[in-house]
Amino acid sequence: DIDHLNLRVQKELVEWLNWLKADIGFDGWRFDFAKGYSADVAKIYIDRSEPSFAVAEIWTSLAYGGDGKPNLNQDQHRQELVNWVDKVGGKGPATTFDFTTKGILNVAVEGELWRLRGTDGKAPGMIGWWPAKAVTFVDNHDTGSTQHMWPFPSDRVMQGYAYILTHPGTPCIFYDHFFDWGLKEEIDRPVSVRTRHGIHSESKLQIIEADADLYLAEIDGKVIVKLGPRYDVGNLIPGGFKVAAHGNDYAVW
């Protein structure tokens, strides 16, 4: 165990981070198991090494109902993520992985897409509150891959990417999906749409529809994304939009 309250430990870790930055060329940090030490300590490491980007893994359980599924309201869960960023410094480079969005998406794509509109009409994850500080993802080395601890439904992974790659927040692509699953070309298409239209972490999200079998949203008035098996949505798509990416139960205009 590392005693992060020990001043010598702090000093040596800061020196190591600055060595990684100056001599090796790293310019960002990922804080593993960040709930294992205080945000005040993480702030010391960030302030004294000045990375261009930092992201924390704060993985806590969502609130579940008697049916074993997440409650619609996950405000307490995303508040934990917001609180960490607040304490570390909201104006700095600190962000957190949006585990709230991950947990809700896991269930939503299984015929419960209504979950993707929160009670306030916004996105239900951290991206609905502070998208500039939310790093969205479908799976990572813990949840997917060999550990398989909270995996995304494998046959619906591209629905997850269609969502995070068109929405606010900073999307993160899982190595396994991109290189090992043969999804590189399919993931590339919504990435290109995001880049071409300048969709960014604070883009404006307008949720048009969120039913069991259909989620439809417009981003910055430039991009529209559809999740779900409902096929006939032409009456909901404004004129001038053309399909730029599509696959199993998703499309991007």
Catalytic residue IDs? 32, 57
Residue count of the chain? 253
At 46 the three-state DSSP class reads helix
- CB atoms < 10 A from the CB of 241, how many? 13
- Buried b or exposed e, range 195-223, using 16+ CB within 10 angstroms: eebebebebebebbbbeeebbbbbbbebb
Question: Cβ(95)–Cβ(134) under 8 Å?
Answer: yes
What are the DSSP calls for 76-110, one per residue?
Answer: HHHHHHHHHHHHHHTTSSEEEE-HHHHHHHHHHTT
Going by C-alpha positions, the residue among 223, 228, 227, 226 that lies closest to residue 240 is 223
Q: Determine phi and psi for 18, rounding to 5 degrees.
A: -70, -30
**Exposure string for 117-155, b = 16+ CB within 10 A, e = fewer:** bbeeebbbbbbbbbbebbbbbbbbeebbbeeeebebeee
Residues ≥6 apart with Cβ < 8 Å to 21: 27, 49, 51
At 189, which helix (H) or strand (E)?
helix 184-196
